[in-house]
Amino acid sequence: MRIMRNFAGWLIILTLTSTMAWANVKPVKFDPARNRLIAYMLSHQLPAQHFSHVPFDDALSEKAFALYLRQLDPRKRFLLQSDVDELSAFADHIDDELRRGRIVLPDAGMQILNDRIRQVKAMLDSIMNKGFDPERKEYIESDPKKINWTKSREELADRWRKVLKLQVLDEYLNDLDKAKKEKNTKAKAEKKKTSITDSPTWKKALATVRERNLHYFDRLLRESRQDHYNRYFDAVARAFDPHTNYLPPTSKEDFDIHMSGSLEGIGALLREDDGHIKVVRIIPGSAAERQGQLQAEDTILSVAEKGGKPVDINDMRIREAVSYIRGPKGTEVILTVRKPDGVKQVIPIVRDVVKIEETYVKSTVLTGHQGEKVGYIRIPSFYRDFNAPRDGRSGRNVTDDTRRALVELKKKGISGLILDLRNNGGGALTDAVDISGLFLPGGPVVQVKNFQGMIRVLEDGDANVVYGGPLVVLVNQFSASASEILAAALQDYGRAIIIGGEHTHGKGTVQALIDLNRNLPLLHLKKYDDLGALKVTIQKFYRITGGSTKYKGVEPDIFAPGMLDYLKTGEKYMDNSLPWDTVQ
């Protein structure tokens, strides 16, 4: 289903999965002209395309500034109140910055933040060398919304003293717990010591926390100028609503991978560990698994293209490191790795398409005590490869996979079905409608309304039902968007019993993806590096009854209490969320 030529499709996404280890796009070099162009396009595209059609004025600028400040120092551990006051001079001028192309705030914020990070880094040795009294009761507030910015460097140092003390205590206790589980005598021996601070475990905890924070500060200081601009642009977009985002090229590719469930690369999940890039696991069926030499816990030291010079990736940010590792199908990458035993090995791997199986529909048969068979289908997301038709291939999608799963389960003689939508944050709107049709004999599924108030009913046009037996749908507070459309439709038609927590996430909006590279103003004929994309809220959606899932979500027929009921999660807790309403 297409909105217009330059829109990638209708999307109803709650969040983007963090897939830092999948990024393939090379880091963009900082180009002032490119950023001025992005700023200009945001200042025009967002007010014109967003559902609210609100003007980009001083009020919206202040919302953007609040979001920018929060992402600049989210836990209030670096900036002083005086820094915030200085930056606040820009609060109602962001709209002017974007229109005029004179962008100052991200540079000012970066300079102030980096200065404070260096100051805190310099405090680290002094704080750690003074030590901590584990017997002294102290309190630290972990919710940044409940604390103020510190007013002096002394107050900032004391905040960090408490943070570091908590980290040392956590590390110390975790090490003792580990020793107990391993039935190690170390835990018993240390209990007999008169002072915790003299124990080897305490000293090890101090050293670990010191080293970890040094790497943390260095990682923050390696954030590029372009990284700061990208977060600034995203704060501007999120001022319109929490599901509108600016996606720089790397995030846009993450988004495509999340939606399609596939990528081109070697098939290794990576993590950053104290400045090193380590292998977490090998994806089943991937090029790396077929080659056989790369294993979990290997440390990747350098990367080279076939016939090219190796690039040292030590102390490199994981996104940048992976940009060297990934590449087009059929090309060869040569990794130099250090095995856990210290032996170095050179491993050549021919890149291929990697299927991220966790993305896809899974099904099985559950057998009861009396031999009854119940089908179980888990839908982790409403995935669809939007690029497949453009590339002349048949991409995988959640509707076809669910249909196949239903057919296979019916062949096995199931007497009922459990459809698991827990933690499913959404996906393609078309698939929410199409999957509803697998259980319904045609008819309306959901209503959508645009900024002009025009309402369109999206229907299942196929009267055939793939599965018509007893049906239970599992949901929780992280079931959102497309999940809520499907659950609501099945509930409204009396087709399924919904079981879950107090309510689902409560999202009620539709997004479209705008490729900025295809929307360049005519005067900008210069070829820039990839400009990224905008994910913009363009519609609201409603149940067939006219009710909205906004804030309230889908309330279950059977309440199953769980841990999530005590967390403040959901649309109603998100900044700048669009208001709740209904349609007739």
Active site residues: 481, 492, 507
Q: Which helix (H) or strand (E) holds 337?
A: strand 332-338
Distance between CA 12 and CA 429 in Å, rounded? 6
Distance between CA 316 and CA 272 in Å, rounded? 9
- Give residue 342's region: left, alpha or beta (phi > 0; psi -120 to 50): left
Spatial contact of 255 and 513, defined as CB atoms under 8 Å apart: yes
Cα–Cα distances in angstroms (integers) from residue 560 to residues 493, 502, 554, 572, in the given order:
22, 8, 14, 21
Q: Which amino acid is at 351?
A: R
CA torsion 362→366→372→375, rounded to 10°? -20
Long-range contacts: 490-494, Cβ < 8 Å, 24+?
A: 490/436, 490/439, 490/440, 491/554, 491/557, 492/543, 492/544, 492/545, 493/440, 493/443, 493/544
- Give the largest CA-CA distance in the chain: 77
CA torsion 78→80→82→84, rounded to 10°? 60
Distance between CA 389 and CA 226 in Å, rounded? 33
Burial grade of 102 (CB within 10 A; 0-12, 13-18, 19 or more): exposed
Cα–Cα distances in angstroms (integers) from residue 222 to residues 165, 214, 318, in the given order:
26, 12, 12
Distance between CA 207 and CA 193 in Å, rounded? 20
Distance between CA 538 and CA 3 in Å, rounded? 10
Q: What are phi and psi of 273, to 5 degrees?
A: -135, 100
Q: Please, what is the end-to-end C-alpha distance for the chain in angstroms?
A: 25
Q: Say which residues have a Cβ less than 8 Å from residue 245's Cβ, sequence separation at least 6.
A: 16, 234, 237, 238, 251, 534, 535
Q: Which helix (H) or strand (E) holds 59?
A: helix 58-72
Q: Which two three-digit tokens encode residue 346?
A: 């050179």
Q: Say which residues have a Cβ less than 8 Å from residue 409's Cβ, sequence separation at least 6.
A: 363, 365, 375, 377, 417, 467
DSSP state of 134: T
